[in-house]
Amino acid sequence: MRVPIIAGNWKMHTTMYEAEKLVRDMMDVLDKIEGVEKVLCPPFISLAAIGNLLKDSSIKLGAQNMYFEAKGAYTGEISPLMLREWCQFVILGHSERRCYFAETEQMINKKIKSALENDLKPILCVGERLEENEAGRTEEIIAKQINQDLSSIKPTCNMVIAYEPVWAIGTGKAASGEQAAATIKFIRSMLTKLWSEDIAQDLRILYGGSVTSSNIAEFISQPDIDGALVGGASLKAEEFLGIVNQTAIIKGISPSSERYNP
């Protein structure tokens, strides 16, 4: 059975003080919601402070990026050795890294290998741009990303894939549940070819792109969608709790009796 995941990508938002406040505002309720893996991905500078706040909780930490080398003269970069003291997950290949920081499939592939070697679970983001979607090239683009990003990686379930259509990120225009599920099914079929049917069935695949507490049900009620990578809505405690709580209910795992009631 695939345990659903809701991961919050805070992007370049929150000072350390604001990050701690956001965690304090939701951690007691979030901690008690069962049956969903809950992951917060704050900016690097807040990881240690939040790691200390969450150390006895069921809430996990993720980073938003990392460099693939373990250490060395790479001014300004963060290594997997630094992250693994605090994090279980690391987001890799986010479209904002691809678009604004020129990350190539080869770099993303090296980062995935390095994360896995260092016991970090990559959350690999893939997704097509608007013009590619409109030209009917979604599967072609996703296939290219998956094949290159996972090239020569040993088959593993210790990672998560997030299907994030670029046109849906931060735009308020989410894909439909059916659209997202169809592409996620395609990703599973690729994993079957690339690795095996067992891994394709066990590996968790999320949807990301303008998810809120008002539309999460549409995605999570699709059997192939195992959760969500949430950007903007993860910066509001009530929104994030609403998303996690609905996921626990819809995926059929009874949530905590102290669950969040908006």
CB of 230 to ligand PEP, least distance (A): 5
d(CA 59, CA 75): 31
Identify the residue whose tokens are 């904002």: 96
Binding-site member from 211, 220, 225, 237 for ligand PEP (CB under 6 A): 211
Return the DSSP state at 5.
E
Residue 262's H or E segment, with its range, is none
Binding-site member from 50, 61, 87, 229 for ligand PEP (CB under 6 A): 229
Which one is catalytic: 94, 96, 103, 218? 94
The residue among 33 and 175 lying less far from ligand PEP, judged by its C-beta, is 175
Q: For residue 77, give both structure tokens.
A: 């970069």
Interhelix angle 177-194/138-149, rounded to 10 degrees, is 40
| Residue pair 50/23 in contact by the 8 Å Cβ criterion | yes
CB of 3 to ligand PEP, least distance (A): 20
Which whole-number Å values give the CA distances from 182 to 186, 207, 260, in the listed order? 6, 11, 31
Q: Does the annotation count 94 as an active-site position?
A: yes
Binding-site member from 9, 65, 138, 246 for ligand PEP (CB under 6 A): 9
Determine what percent of the chain falls in helix, strand and coil, rounding each to the nearest 5: 45, 15, 40
d(CA 160, CA 197): 16
Which one is catalytic: 96, 164, 218, 239? 164
- Interaction of residue 161 with ligand PEP, rule CB under 6 A: no
- Interaction of residue 214 with ligand PEP, rule CB under 6 A: no
The residue among 27 and 169 lying less far from ligand PEP, judged by its C-beta, is 169
Binding-site member from 164, 218, 226, 239 for ligand PEP (CB under 6 A): 164
Q: Does the annotation count 20 as an active-site position?
A: no
- Interaction of residue 8 with ligand PEP, rule CB under 6 A: no
Active site members: 94, 164
